[in-house]
Structures are given as structure tokens and as C-alpha cells.
């Protein structure tokens, strides 16, 4: 082994063991598949992460005496303390792999190391998964004494030499391709995220490049929206940058990406996700079941238009690994025959896993239309794929953990043959390190304990009894928020009303309906701000189109009586003919009687005037909204406002006042007449009237 100083080496990022003052970083470990004729090669760095200088530093590689027996040991070893505690099995030093480093290691200083040893000299025994460690010992200069263990890094090496007799376990690689669909109804991209993902080194480009090396090993799960978006980008597109609408510059990259993808898919099965990977649970909870059906049923046509070939069935990928029953019923009724779940969503019954056996990742999933297939992604494999991969050291640890998980499954006692596992990321919009997944795909082909298996083969694997875990409040809280979905519902309502009045709704509605599906993507769970920007943009666009048809009437209309006709002018500033209705709405409604007019056709760029009959109750002016109506009678657009005034009550009041005046005058005249007649009969000197007896 050689120990070589390294100047300006990158800061170590693989987590040190708890209690360590030296971080041992393994930057590379080879070979990928250990054989008797190969060499075990490890290279890395040691870093003083403490506050004191360390001297007499020495390194030692160790190997566990026996292979591990349970998958649960992997997690315990990964977080074991410096001394290993009870988690780390007894190990022995690899005699030929040790070195004493001259000089001192000051705080923050790091040195590199590498070693190579023939595997036949490591005395590996029975087939299985072993723990390999690199230990760093030294003396704190402020404390006298003998060298002590100051740092360690542990990882795993599967060992299955020829003749080990291991039965390989099948591995189905689920390879999702989707993105954050920030594209409005006019096809404008709200940002460069998707175009950039298609460029060399971009997320989607790397996924296709890696899988293209072994395209038959992976089971492709493609969102038709990303195919549609890439096609549009390849033909020329617009994108918003710093508030400005500019012509995008990644068309050539998108064209190349599509060509690479089509080449990789040639001769291989393609499975589809619902369009834009719609958040089916949130949509159903918001009353948008129709959108879920549309996302499922439109997927094959959209994909075929982009790929120029027919594709397979639609598969639902549960965002948190679980689905509630109502959503399961909805997607199954829409035509989905397979759901992708976490293995924790349908744990096997105890009898099926006695002895620690891991069953195949397939199960029956009950719905209202009967059982559909539930592909169960192994939780341990997902965790390994989802581990930090920012440095070479982290990639090595993730790779060896994944291989160890599969190797331990392969040697489970009393396990049935022909088992098949499902490997997939926990995040459908994953961005793995290319070197990690490339190595794992190669291992799937070459490792004696693994064999590649298609999704179709997994569907045919043996199933065991399982119990369904409730969706739970955590599942609900992870969905797109109710306040966000309310904006989506508003957009959907506006589109429906716009489409209902258009002479040819197919020229407008599909673009908006597709954009509303994109606004319901599960991608906005992780990027809510972009989702809000998208749905706001969609609502603004729809509102503008709706406003193209509006009423021009305003002011005051005076009736000569209590009823009359109200003139209304409707303008159509849109691009096609509309058929619309119009009605009057009084406040309070009890003061107005009026029947709406329907079936009014207004050509583009024209105005139409109509009269509505109305009767006003009461003499005070009445504020009335002039409301356009869809053919079904729903309000359309922003209403105009007029004031209705009836003169019937003012004339009636005048007649009443006149009659009252005449009555009073008559009473006065009669009274005066009586007095005059009375005075004439009595006259002066007349005797008084006789008193009554």
C-alpha cells in the first residue's frame, strides 16, 4: 500500500463514523464483481476533522471473519460508532494491507492512500457479503500514549466465486423519464429547466445515455408529456427568461435526445405514465376525476405522435409509494392495469417472510374493477439509489450498499427460486450519478447472484399474501395543496365555459385542457412556486380569451311604466363565432322580472344588439347586472351594469295626490255650503229653538 500526500484535495463528504476525529474516505473500490483471480483495490483519503494535530498515523484494512446473514445488519453497520459496537461483526486485519504514515496530520489536513491486494490472499471464505473496513489509528499530540483508533470507513463486498451455487435473483429495473412540465397553453416554457435537462450532461440526457448502454435491461416508464415537450423544443420554442419572452436555444439538443431515446427504445417495451404524471389523488379529492381519466386515456396517442410507434399500457406511479382506495378505483376504471408502490405499502404476511425471506415484488391490488398488478419497489434498494451521490466517496458507498442488499436477498435461507425484485428510485424525477447506475446495470448482467428481468417477467412471478397499509394523513398532506387545486378547478371551469360557446372549441380547448393537466403534475409537490406560476399563467390566458366576448351596455334605462325593453349590445373580439345567451340579474332579485335570451350568434369582430323584456317592482332605481350566459345557463365572463328606472310609480303617486286633493277640496266645499245654508235659515232675531223636554 502507498500513502501519498495530496495538495488541495476536495473536502471529504462521506460522513465519518460517530466519535471519529479522522474521516476515512473511500473514493474508489474495485473490482465491481469480486473473483478469485482479481485484486481488491481501494483508494481514498484520510482527513483530520478534529481540532488537534495527530501523529503516528497508521492505516489498516480489515475484513469480517464471516459473511453477513441479514439485510438489517447493513443499516446498523452503516451508522455504527467508531468501535463498531454490537453491529459490526468480528473482523481480522488483511496482513498485507497496512501502512505507517510519517509525519503529522494537522487539523484540516488530508492525505491520500491506495492499496491493492490479490483477493486470493484475503482469505475470503464462504460465499456471501463481507464487511471491508479501512481503519485509521494515531496519537493526539496533546495526549501522550499509544496509538488508538481515530477513524474508520466501512463498506461491503459481495463474494460469490465460481462454484458457489448461488441462485440468482431477478432484478427488474424501473426507469422513469418525466420532468417538471412548466409549459403553458401557448406552449411557452416558464423556465429553462426542461430544455436544459435534454442537453448533454442534463438530467434526462444522462438517464437516456446510461440506459442506452443496456436498453434491454431497463423497463422504460415514459411520461408522454416529456416526449411532447421535447418534440416541441426540437421544432423551435419560446421560453421566459428574466421576465422576457425569448426564442430558446436548445432545439438541436432536444432533437438529439429524441433520436437517442428512439434508438434505445427500438425493439424494447415502452410503458407510459399518465400524461404529466398527474397527481391523481389531489385531482380526485378536488372533484377533477375527469382530468385523471383524460391523463390516462390521452397518454398513448400523445406518445405515439412523438415516437411514431405504438406503445404499451399506462402505469400509475404512486408519488409516496401508496394510493388511497378511491384513487385506486378511479385509475383502474380509467384503464390502468399496473401501479408502482413501495414494498412498505403492501407488506407480506408473516408466514410469507418467515426466516427473513424476501418475496417477489409483485402483488394483487384490489379495485372496484377487480385485481390489478401492484409492482412493489424494494425499499432497501430505493434507499441505496436515493443516498447522497455528490462525491465519488458517496457513490462508492451507495453502489456497494445496493450490491450488498441484492446479495443478501439471493442467499436468504429456504427462499423460493425464480424470485424477482423491483428496483427503482423513490423519487420519480431522479437524477442519479451516471457512474453509479451504469455500474449497477452492469452488475445486474454480470454478478452471479443477479439476473435481469423485464416488467412482464415480474408480473408472472409468484405472489404471496399481503396486507394493505392505509394511505394515512401523511399521504394526504403530501398531495398538491387544496388552495392550489382550487386555482386548478377555477381554470377548468373557465375552460369549460369558454369551450361551450365557441363554434369550434377544438381549436382552443385542447391546448388549455392539456396545460391544466400539466398544472396538476406531481412535480409541483417539490416545486410549488413554479406550479403556482404555471396555473396563474393559465388562468390569465383563459380570462383574456373569455373577456373577448363581452357586453357593451351601460348607463340608465327609464321605463314609461313598470315594464319595458332593455337594449343590450354584445361584442365578439375573438377569432371565431360564438353562441351565447344574456340575462338580467337584479339586486335584490325580487324587484326584477326578466327572461334571458339564448341562442345569440355573434361572428368574430362583430357586435349584436338585442332587447330583453323586464319588469321592475318599486319606484327606486334598480341596479342590474347584464350577464352573458353559456348554453347551459352558467354565467360567462364579467357582467355589465345598468340602472333601471320605472315611471309607473311616480304617475300613480301623482294620481293619488290629485285624488286626495280633490277629496279634500270636496270636503271643504261641502262644509262651507252647510255653513252658508245654516246661516240663511236662522237670520237675525230668530227665536231660539225649543228645548227638549
- DSSP secondary structure string, 117-131? EEGGGTT--SSEEEE
Q: Each residue of 322-352: pLDDT tens digit?
A: 999 999 999 999 999 999 999 999 999 986 6
Specify whether the backbone of 646 is left (phi greater than 0), alpha (psi in -120 to 50) or beta. beta
For the segment 386-401, the average pLDDT, to the nearest whole number, is: 96
Q: How confident is the model at residue 12 (pLDDT cuts 50, 70, 90)?
A: very low
Q: What would the grid cell of residue 396 be?
A: 462508492
Q: Shortest CA distance to 544 belongs to which of 579, 583, 575, 584?
A: 575
Residues near 35 by beta carbon (within 8 Å), at least 6 away in sequence: 119, 161, 162
300-304, 307-311, 414-418, range with greatest mean pLDDT? 300-304
Quick check: 221 and 177 in contact, CB under 8 A? yes
DSSP 8-state code for residue 508: T
What pLDDT shows up at residue 15? Answer: 80
The answer, yes or no, to whether residue 692 has pLDDT greater than 90, is no
- Per-residue pLDDT at 453 exceeds 80: yes
* pLDDT, position 619: 78
- The grid coordinates of residue 300 equal 398513448
* Mean pLDDT within 366-395: 96
Query: H-helix or E-strand containing 151?
Result: strand 148-159
DSSP 298-354: HHHHHHHHHHSS----BEEE-TTS---HHHHHHHHHHT--EEEEEGGGSPBPGGGGG
Q: What is the pLDDT of residue 102?
A: 78
Average pLDDT (188-217) is 98
Burial 499-512 (b: 16+ CB within 10 A, else e): bbbbeebeebbebb
Q: What tens digit of pLDDT does each residue of 262-276 get?
A: 999 999 999 999 999
**CA 392/CA 435 separation, integer angstroms:** 9
Cell 471464505 maps to which residue? 125
Q: Give CA 642 to chain center in angstroms.
A: 47
Confidence of residue 460 (pLDDT cuts 50, 70, 90): very high
pLDDT tens digits along 586-635: 989 999 999 999 999 999 999 999 999 999 998 789 999 999 999 999 99
Residue 470 has pLDDT above 90, yes or no: yes
pLDDT for res 676: 57
User: In the prediction, which pLDDT does 353 show?
Assistant: 64
Contact 57, 149 (CB under 8 A): no
pLDDT digit string, tens, across residues 489-518: 999 999 999 999 999 999 999 999 999 999
Q: What is the Cα–Cα distance from 129 to 232, expressed in whole angstroms?
A: 49
CA distances from 156 to 34, 272, 390, 398, 408 (A): 11, 36, 20, 10, 11
* Cell, residue 622: 334598480
- Inform me whether the pLDDT recorded for 13 exceeds 70: no
What's the pLDDT score for residue 666? 52
For the ranges 108-112, 336-340, 533-537, the lowest mean pLDDT is seen at: 108-112
Q: Which residue has the higher pLDDT, 205 or 13?
A: 205
DSSP-based three-state secondary structure for 314: strand
Percent of the chain topping pLDDT 70: 90
**Stretch 482-487: mean pLDDT, rounded?**
98
pLDDT of residue 142: 76
Amino acid at each position: 500500500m502507498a500513502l501519498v500526500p495530496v495538495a488541495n484535495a476536495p473536502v471529504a463528504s462521506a460522513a465519518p463514523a460517530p466519535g471519529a476525529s479522522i474521516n476515512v474516505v473511500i473514493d474508489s473500490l474495485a473490482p465491481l464483481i469480486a473473483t478469485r483471480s482479481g485484486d481488491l483495490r481501494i483508494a481514498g483519503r484520510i482527513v483530520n476533522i478534529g481540532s488537534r494535530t495527530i501523529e503516528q498515523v497508521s492505516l489498516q484494512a480489515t475484513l469480517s471473519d464471516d459473511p453477513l446473514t441479514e439485510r438489517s445488519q447493513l443499516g446498523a453497520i452503516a451508522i455504527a460508532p467508531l468501535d463498531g459496537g454490537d453491529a459490526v461483526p468480528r473482523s481480522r486485519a488483511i496482513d498485507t494491507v497496512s501502512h505507517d504514515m510519517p509525519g503529522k496530520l494537522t487539523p484540516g489536513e488530508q492525505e491520500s492512500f491506495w492499496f491493492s491486494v490479490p483477493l486470493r490472499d484475503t482469505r475470503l471464505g464462504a460465499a456471501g457479503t463481507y464487511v471491508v473496513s479501512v481503519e485509521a489509528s494515531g496519537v493526539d499530540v496533546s495526549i501522550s500514549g499509544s496509538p488508538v483508533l481515530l477513524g474508520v470507513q466501512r463498506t461491503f463486498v459481495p463474494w460469490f466465486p465460481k462454484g458457489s451455487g448461488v441462485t440468482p435473483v431477478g432484478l427488474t429495473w424501473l426507469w422513469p423519464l418525466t420532468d417538471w412540465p412548466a409549459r403553458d397553453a401557448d406552449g411557452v416554457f416558464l423556465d429553462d429547466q426542461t430544455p436544459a435537462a435534454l442537453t448533454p450532461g442534463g438530467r434526462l440526457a444522462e438517464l437516456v445515455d446510461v440506459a442506452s448502454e443496456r436498453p434491454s435491461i431497463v423497463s422504460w416508464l415514459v411520461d408522454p408529456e416529456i416526449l411532447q415537450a421535447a418534440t416541441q423544443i426540437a421544432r423551435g420554442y419560446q421560453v421566459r427568461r428574466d421576465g422576457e419572452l425569448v426564442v430558446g436555444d436548445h432545439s438541436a439538443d432536444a432533437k438529439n435526445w429524441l433520436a437517442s431515446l428512439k434508438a434505445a427504445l427500438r425493439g424494447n417495451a415502452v410503458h407510459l405514465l399518465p400524461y404529466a404524471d398527474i397527481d391523481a389523488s389531489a385531482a380526485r379529492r378536488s372533484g377533477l376525476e375527469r382530468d385523471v381519466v383524460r391523463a390516462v386515456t390521452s397518454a398513448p396517442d400523445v406518445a405515439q405522435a412523438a415516437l411514431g410507434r405504438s406503445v404499451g399500457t399506462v402505469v400509475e406511479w404512486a408519488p409516496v409509494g401508496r394510493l388511497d382506495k378511491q384513487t385506486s378505483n378511479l385509475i383502474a376504471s380509467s384503464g390502468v392495469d399496473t401501479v408502482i408502490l413501495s414494498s412498505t405499502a403492501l407488506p407480506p404476511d408473516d408466514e410469507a417472510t418467515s426466516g427473513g425471506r424476501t418475496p417477489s415484488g409483485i402483488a394483487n391490488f384490489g379495485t372496484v374493477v377487480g385485481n390489478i398488478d401492484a409492482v412493489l419497489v424494494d425499499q432497501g434498494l430505493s434507499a441505496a439509489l436515493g443516498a447522497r451521490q455528490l462525491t465519488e466517496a458517496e457513490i462508492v458507498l451507495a453502489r456497494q450498499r445496493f450490491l450488498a442488499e441484492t446479495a443478501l436477498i439471493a442467499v436468504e435461507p429456504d427462499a423460493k427460486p425464480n424470485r424477482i425484485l423491483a428496483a427503482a428510485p423513490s423519487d420519480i424525477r431522479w437524477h442519479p450519478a451516471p457512474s453509479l447506475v451504469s455500474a449497477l446495470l452492469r452488475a445486474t448482467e454480470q454478478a452471479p447472484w443477479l439476473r435481469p428481468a423485464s416488467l412482464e417477467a415480474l408480473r408472472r412471478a409468484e405472489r404471496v399474501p399481503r396486507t394493505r397499509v392505509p394511505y394515512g394523513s401523511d399521504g394526504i398532506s403530501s398531495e398538491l395543496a387544496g388552495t392550489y387545486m382550487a386555482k386548478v378547478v377555477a381554470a377548468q371551469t373557465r375552460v369549460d365555459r369558454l369551450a361551450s360557446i365557441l363554434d369550434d372549441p377544438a381549436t382552443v380547448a385542447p391546448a388549455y385542457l392539456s396545460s391544466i393537466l400539466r398544472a396538476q403534475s406531481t412535480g409541483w409537490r417539490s416545486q410549488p412556486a413554479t406550479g403556482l406560476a404555471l396555473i396563474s399563467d393559465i388562468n390569465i390566458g383563459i380570462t383574456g380569451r373569455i373577456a373577448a366576448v363581452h357586453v357593451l351596455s351601460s348607463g340608465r334605462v327609464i321605463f314609461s311604466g313598470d315594464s319595458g325593453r332593455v337594449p343590450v349590445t354584445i361584442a365578439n373580439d375573438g377569432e371565431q363565432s360564438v353562441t351565447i345567451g344574456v340575462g338580467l340579474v337584479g339586486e335584490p332579485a325580487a324587484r326584477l322580472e326578466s327572461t334571458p335570451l339564448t341562442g345569440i350568434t355573434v361572428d368574430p369582430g362583430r357586435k349584436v344588439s338585442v332587447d330583453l323584456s323586464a319588469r321592475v317592482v318599486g319606484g327606486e332605481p334598480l341596479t342590474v347586472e347584464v350577464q352573458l350566459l353559456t348554453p347551459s345557463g352558467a354565467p360567462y365572463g364579467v357582467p355589465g351594469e345598468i340602472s333601471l328606472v320605472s315611471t309607473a310609480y311616480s304617475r300613480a303617486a301623482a294620481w293619488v295626490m290629485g285624488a286626495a286633493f280633490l277629496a279634500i277640496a270636496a270636503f271643504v266645499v261641502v262644509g262651507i255650503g252647510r255653513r252658508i245654508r245654516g246661516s240663511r235659515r236662522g237670520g237675525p232675531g230668530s227665536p231660539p229653538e225649543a228645548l227638549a223636554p
